[in-house]
Structure 1
Amino acid sequence: MSPRTTATRLGVLAAAGALATLGLSGPAAAQDDPDHKGRVTDHKAPATDHRAPVTDYKAPVYKGRVTAKSGLLLRDSPRRGSRVVRSEPHGKVVTIYCKTKGDRVGRTNHWYLLTDGTWAWGSANYIANIGKAPRWC
């Protein structure tokens, strides 16, 4: 469904909800009248979610370069003893989704969630930021 279609449907639902709040009924009320004689019925509009819809949201992209001389082991959680999922070679530019705190490695306890291929955690001690530091998870 396109964002425009979604926005149109949400607009219609919001309008129906506003009419119901005011005690008015919209065109759907005529469908509740089997004789179609224009009687006003007690039509209740469906409950609507008043939170703003998320459309076309793109998380910011953060980049980093692997600085570990022998390559970086990427893990399934931000802990030194967690399972190794894959590795990245020295000098590889990686895409970082966010950062969190985990086990201390070297001088930091920050870990980055990488999104290249499979989602995996790498210690920030071995990833040099390219540009801005990643957001917190």
Structure 2
Amino acid sequence: MSPLSAPASCSPLVRGLATALAAGALATAVAVTPAVASDGGGGGTTPASGVTGGANGGDQWGGNDGRQEQGRYRGVVTADRLALRTSPSRGADVIRYARRGEVVSIYCKTPGPSVQGNPLWYLLTDGTWAWGAARYIDNIGPAPRWC
């Protein structure tokens, strides 16, 4: 057994808590790490009209599944004013607000505290790394991958 693997005798609760702690640490690290890679855009938001597919079923990023080459996804904000936060929780600090109709870049999704029945949160990559409740972001194309 490797030093990083849990013994087979560990309860599901212990394994679940270990997984939750690791995910929380990763989420915190990602939330406070500045983005250094360019997403290929000119900065800012891509208009919704730029996300439509071509005649061959591909999209503007060269893939056939709605994803950008860097593995990011897109969504449109449905709330009048959506708080984007430092971690996937309503109690986390607000980084900025997104407005209804704004197209956002989604890196991945993770479970968190439920917002009006939806337990998913999206990690957004629009200039800063911030978390938004998936309840108020409609996917453009396929659902994002898991974090």
TM > 0.5: yes
Question: 1: distance between equivalents of 2:116 and 2:94?
Answer: 18
Tell me the residue number matched to 2:139: 129
The alpha carbon displacement at 1:61 in A equals 2.2
Tell me the residue number matched to 2:128: 118
The alpha carbon displacement at 1:59 in A equals 3.0
- TM-score, normalised via structure 1 length: 0.56
- 1:67 aligned onto 2:94: no
Number of equivalent positions: 79
User: Counterpart amino acid of 1:123?
Assistant: A
The alpha carbon displacement at 1:71 in A equals 1.4
Runs of 4+ in 1 over 6 A off after TM superposition: none
* Unpaired runs of at least 5, structure 1: 1-57
User: Counterpart amino acid of 1:82?
Assistant: A
* Unpaired runs of at least 5, structure 2: 1-68
Question: 2: distance between equivalents of 1:80 and 1:126?
Answer: 13
Question: 1: distance between equivalents of 2:81 and 2:114?
Answer: 18
Show the 5 A alignment for 1:44-63.
Answer: 59-63=70-74
Question: 2: distance between equivalents of 1:136 and 1:120?
Answer: 16
Q: Which has the larger radius of gyration?
A: 1
Q: Does the 8 Å CA contact 2:73/2:144 hold for their aligned counterparts?
A: yes
- TM-score, normalised via structure 2 length: 0.52
RMSD between superposed Cα atoms in Å = 0.9
The alpha carbon displacement at 1:60 in A equals 1.3
Compare relative contact order (CA 8 Å, sep 6+) and give the higher one, 1 or 2.
Answer: 2
SS in 1 for 2:128: coil
